[in-house]
Amino acid sequence: MNRNQTALKPREWMPRTTAAFCAGALAAGMLAVWPQTAEAADSIGKTTAARTKEEIVEKWMQSYLPMKRSFAYMSGNDIYEQLPSLTAPFQEGKLQAEYIEDGVRATNFVRYLAGVPDDVQPDWSLHRQQQSASLINALNDRLSHSPTKPAGMEEEAYKLGYAGAGSSNLYMGSPTLYSSVLGYMSDSDPSNIDRVGHRRWILNPAMTRTMFGYVRAAETSGYGSPYSSMYVFDKGRAAGSVEYDYIGWPAAGYFPSEAFSPSDAWSVSLNTDRYDKNNTDSITVTVTRQSDGRQWTLDKSDTDKSGEYFRVDKGGYGGIPVCIIFRPGGISDIKEDDRFHVRIDGIRSKAGAETSIEYDTVFFRMTEMKRFGSDAIAITPGESVPLRLYSTGEGAVAGRMAGQLESSDPSIASVDSSGVLRGVKAGAAYIRYSNYLGQENSLYVTVRPAAPGDAPSGWAKEAYAKAKGAGLIPYSLDTQYQTPIRRIDFVRMLVGVYENTTGSSLPADRKPFQDTSDSNVSKAVSAGLISGVSPTEFAPLAKITRQEAAALLTRLESKLASVAGKPPGSAAPTGPFADDEAIASWAKADVYRSVGLGLMQGVGQNRFNPMGNLTVEQSIQIFQRTFERFVRD
Predicted confidence band at 37 (pLDDT cuts at 50, 70, 90)? Answer: very low
Nearest to 291 by CA among 250, 333, 249: 333
| Cβ atoms of residues 229 and 213 within 8 Å | yes
Which residues contact residue 576 at a Cβ distance below 8 angstroms, ignoring those fewer than 6 apart?
none
Q: What's the pLDDT tens digit per position in 342-355?
A: 999 999 999 999 99
Nearest to 447 by CA among 417, 481, 424, 414: 424
In this predicted structure, the answer to whether residue 21 has a pLDDT above a threshold of 70 is: no
> What is the separation of C-alpha 575 from the centre of its chain, rounded to a whole number of angstroms?
52
pLDDT at res. 623: 97
Nearest to 212 by CA among 193, 229, 197, 224: 229
Q: What's the pLDDT tens digit per position in 546-595?
A: 999 999 999 999 999 999 898 888 888 888 999 999 999 999 999 999 99
| Cβ atoms of residues 343 and 286 within 8 Å | yes
| Cβ atoms of residues 251 and 115 within 8 Å | yes
| Cβ atoms of residues 212 and 107 within 8 Å | no
The CA–CA distances, whole Å, from 233 to 201, 206, 210 equal 8, 10, 8
The number of CA neighbours under 13 Å toward the Cβ of 523 is 18
Residue 220, phi then psi, degrees to nearest 5: -130, 130
Nearest to 624 by CA among 494, 505, 536: 494
Global confidence as pTM: 0.80
Q: What's the pLDDT tens digit per position in 96-130?
A: 999 999 999 999 999 999 999 999 999 999 999 99
Which residue ranges form the domains of the chain, and what is each CATH number?
Answer: 6-364 (3.40.33.10), 367-449 (2.60.40.60), 467-633 (no CATH)
Q: Could you give the maximum distance between any two Cα atoms of the chain, in Å?
A: 96
Q: What's the pLDDT tens digit per position in 192-241?
A: 999 999 999 999 999 999 999 999 999 876 678 999 999 999 999 998 89
At 477 the three-state DSSP class reads helix
CB atoms closer than 10 angstroms to residue 259: 21
Of 305 and 504, which is predicted with more confidence? 305
In this predicted structure, the answer to whether residue 189 has a pLDDT above a threshold of 80 is: yes
Q: What's the pLDDT tens digit per position in 591-612?
A: 999 999 999 999 999 999 999 9
> What is the separation of C-alpha 90 from the centre of its chain, rounded to a whole number of angstroms?
38
